[in-house]
Amino acid sequence: MDMDMGEPTTPKSTTGRVNQKLRTRRAIVAAAVELMRTGRDVTMLEVAKSALVSEATAYRHFPDLASLLQEAMAGQMPTPAEALASVADSRDPVERVAVATEHLLRLVLTYQGATRAMIAATITRPDAAASRPAMRFGLIDHALAPLDDTLGVTDPAAVGQLKNDLAVVVSAEALFALTDLAGLDPEEAVASVVHTATALTRAALDSAAPAGRRPRARR
C-alpha cells in the first residue's frame, strides 16, 4: 500500500529561527524610524541600542547605515501628489515649484539627522548613492507636470535643463550650505532656497515662452 507522505514540513526550530530573524530586522527598522523622527544624529550603534540588539547584529541584517535608512524611509514620506495636494488645481509651475521646494526642505529639517547620515554615507561611498531616496526628482517632475503638453512639447531640452537646475537647488545640500556655512537660521534658509527655485523657474519660462503665455495660478 502506498503511503501519502504529504508536503515536506519545515522543522519548527528552523521556522523559529526565521521568525526570530524577521522580528529582529523589524525591530531594527522600527528603531531607525523612531530615531529618524527625533531629528537627532542617526548611527548604527544608536539604532542597535534602541532596538535592544548589538551593533554587530544590526550589521548582520544591514550591511551599512545607508541601506538601513533606505528601508526605514520607505513608506514614511508622502508621494509627490500628496505633497503638492494644496496646489493640485494650479497650472502655474512657479507656484507648484515653491510648494514642492518648501515641502522637501521641511522634511529635511524634520529628518535632519537621518538626511545628514545618508548624505555622508553616499559621499564616502558613491556606489551606495542608489540607496538615497532622491525625492527631489519626483517632486520636481510633479511640480512641472503642467509643462508636459506645452513647453515640454515645443522645447523639451529647456524643460530638461530646468529640471537639472532645480535638482541642484531643491536639495538638502543647498539647505545645509545656508545653515551650516552661511549661518542662516532654518526659516531664512528655507525662504532663500524657495526664492532661488522660483526665480529659476520663472526665468526659464520667461525665456522660453512668448510674453503673457506663462501659465498663471488659478484664483
Summarize pLDDT for 36-59 with one digit per residue, the tens. Answer: 888 788 899 999 999 999 999 999
Q: What per-residue confidence (pLDDT) applies to 2?
A: 46
Q: What per-residue confidence (pLDDT) applies to 15?
A: 78
pLDDT in tens, 188-211: 999 999 999 999 999 999 987 654
Q: What per-residue confidence (pLDDT) applies to 209?
A: 60
Q: What per-residue confidence (pLDDT) applies to 64?
A: 87
Contact yes or no for 91/215 (Cβ under 8 A) = yes
Q: Which residues of the chain have pLDDT under 50?
A: 1-5, 211-219
> In what helix (H) or strand (E) does residue 99 lie, and over which residues does it extend?
helix 93-110
